[in-house]
Amino acid sequence: MRILGIETSCDETAISVIETSGPPAKPRIKILSNIVSSQVKLHAKFGGVVPHLAKREHQRNLVPVLLRALKEADLSQRAKSKEKREMRGSYDSGSLIIDSILEREPELLKRFKKHIVPLKPPKIDAIAATVGPGLAPALWVGVNFARALSFLWSKPVIPVNHLEGHIYANLLSAKWEIANGQSSILNFSFPALCLIVSGGHTELVLMRGYGKYRIIGETLDDAAGEAFDKAAKMMRLGFPGGPAIAAMAAEAIKKKKEKRKDDEKNEVALPRPMLKSKNYDFSFSGLKTAVLYLLRARPELLKSRRGKAAVAKEFQDAVVDVLVAKTIRAARQYRVKTVMIGGGVSANQLLREKLKKAIRKNAPHASCLMPHTSLTGDNALMIALAGYFNRNKKSARNNLRADANLRLDSTRKL
Ligand code: KG4
Ligand code: ZN
């Protein structure tokens, strides 16, 4: 089966084509293409993702990204003149429909007519598209693009929950890059526990089978990634904050080895919110406020690199301590057989290392999967893969809608 995945939930425009073969439950995956066009530089100027700019960029990027993804997958053929007439004919007869599908994305429609309509329909079996959660204006561009392609090429669309994509990214063997884009689905057992940590979400998800999700805890306010971004802003480290804080914290770790007399003046302590609470919920907005008060009380901390590094390290330690402790407690209580992580914050090396160590020590009944660091951020490969596991949930084109607040425990109703 060949699946084309489309991802536009936030600030990455991404398209990927995968080919699956072998046993349905444990298929071999061939990654024919995996293109990600990031808008991060644009949004960095504003200190965060600006939804209407994300929508505009997706409109500009989707067609070139699709053309690249098809070309790399060796699936792009311009129609010969006779076929072209036929394609044109089929577009003309359906043009009113396609025009109305893309009426709110006029820039995309223009490019669609110019570059996509003349193509021969590629040999794919389905289109998997992220329908939520995410930024509504950004999601709609991808959803409408998928609907237009589905109409033009007569292919079904599989609606995909973005967070489910982050979960499935754990199942690809890290070796896929080396082996020419080939991967098999890694062995793992249910029940599985997945810690999802992204810019918009922080949740602990219990998975009892494919598509069977229960959210056992989630953040009551800011997501972990959001907390990294806001703390980094206060420390004037730029956007996105996660990698910037991680890099600063690494300096503190390095510098700790060369002890200095004045180190004491950079000693800082931040709270570990809800570490001891009995449930699996999180709260990071208090931690962000604690950073604000700390920097107000001791502005000199921001004047030296050592001071900044000390705050970054303590902040990262605080977030990671809470995430790891709650994940381990849940892994033990539910006697899970697998622990996974997903979302942008799962790129964080400290989180990865501490979680691995804690599982070995305190939850040895569970094995640990983690996505390859090239797949922790948003990408369409994980969407195509989630599409494969949801291949029986094809949606009627007209029912396909973006849902900014889509929850994992409602995935079955898609
Ligand atoms: O999953 P993602 O790419 O987008 C959403 O779906 O939200 O996650 C983006 C988030 C941002 O908040 C970013 O600061 C954070 O992931 N992030 C990190 C790291 N790399 C990205 N946070 C901590 N450490 C990192 N190395
Ligand atoms: Zn994401």
For 297-329, what is each residue's pLDDT tens digit?
999 999 999 999 999 999 999 999 999 999 999
Q: What is the number of the ligand 1 atom nearest to the C-alpha of 198?
A: 8
Find out whether the beta carbon of 344 lies less than 6 Å from any atom of ligand 1. Answer: yes
Q: What is the number of the ligand 1 atom nearest to the C-alpha of 201?
A: 7
Q: What is the number of the ligand 1 atom nearest to the C-alpha of 229?
A: 14
Give the pLDDT confidence score for residue 89 in this predicted structure: 67
Residue to substitute in 345, 349, 375, 408 for testing ligand 1 pocket (most ligand atoms within 8 angstroms of CB): 345
**What pLDDT band is residue 261 in, cutting at 50, 70 and 90?**
low
Give the pLDDT confidence score for residue 238 in this predicted structure: 93
- pLDDT above 70 for 172: yes
Residue to substitute in 228, 323, 351, 354 for testing ligand 1 pocket (most ligand atoms within 8 angstroms of CB): 228
- Please give the Cα distance from 82 to 271 (Å, whole number): 69
Residue 189 class from Cβ within 10 Å (0-12 exposed, 13-18 middle, 19+ buried)?
A: exposed
Q: Hey, CA dihedral for 291, 294, 297, 303, is it positive or negative?
A: negative
Q: What is the number of the ligand 1 atom nearest to the C-alpha of 224?
A: 12
- Is there a contact between 241 and 230 (Cβ–Cβ < 8 Å)? yes
Q: How many A from CA of 241 to the centre of ligand 1?
A: 8
| Residue bearing the CA closest to ligand 1, atom 8 | 344
**What pLDDT band is residue 414 in, cutting at 50, 70 and 90?**
very low
- Is there a contact between 207 and 196 (Cβ–Cβ < 8 Å)? no
Q: How many A from CA of 163 to the centre of ligand 2?
A: 7
- Please give the Cα distance from 86 to 81 (Å, whole number): 9
Q: Which ligand is nearest to the CA of 223?
A: 1
- pLDDT above 60 for 88: yes
Give the pLDDT confidence score for residue 17 in this predicted structure: 97
Q: How many A from CA of 200 to the centre of ligand 1?
A: 9
Find out whether the beta carbon of 348 lies less than 6 Å from any atom of ligand 1. Answer: yes
Find out whether the beta carbon of 347 lies less than 6 Å from any atom of ligand 1. Answer: yes
Q: What is the number of the ligand 1 atom nearest to the C-alpha of 9?
A: 6
Q: Which residues place a Cβ less than 5 A from the ion ligand 2?
A: 198, 378
Find out whether the beta carbon of 377 lies less than 6 Å from any atom of ligand 1. Answer: yes
Q: What b-and-e string marks burial along 57-66, b requiring 16 or more CB atoms within 10 Å of the CB?
A: bbbbbbbebb
Find out whether the beta carbon of 240 lies less than 6 Å from any atom of ligand 1. Answer: yes
132: left (phi over 0), alpha (psi -120 to 50) or beta: left
Q: Which ligand is nearest to the CA of 345?
A: 1
Token pair belonging to 7: 């991802």
- Please give the Cα distance from 381 to 234 (Å, whole number): 34
- Is there a contact between 308 and 300 (Cβ–Cβ < 8 Å)? no
User: CB neighbours of 209 closer than 8 A, spacing ≥ 6?
Assistant: 190
Q: What is the number of the ligand 1 atom nearest to the C-alpha of 12?
A: 3
Alpha-carbon dihedral 350, 228, 225, 56, rounded to 10 degrees: -130
pLDDT digits (tens, 9 = 90+) for 28-55: 999 999 999 999 999 999 999 999 999 9
**What pLDDT band is residue 413 in, cutting at 50, 70 and 90?**
very low
Q: How many residues does the chain have?
A: 414
For 288-327, give the DSSP string: HHHHHHHHHH-GGGGGSHHHHHHHHHHHHHHHHHHHHHHH
Q: Which single residue is written with the structure tokens 């402790």? A: 325
| Residue bearing the CA closest to ligand 1, atom 2 | 344
Give the pLDDT confidence score for residue 264 in this predicted structure: 77
- H or E element, residue 151: helix 136-153
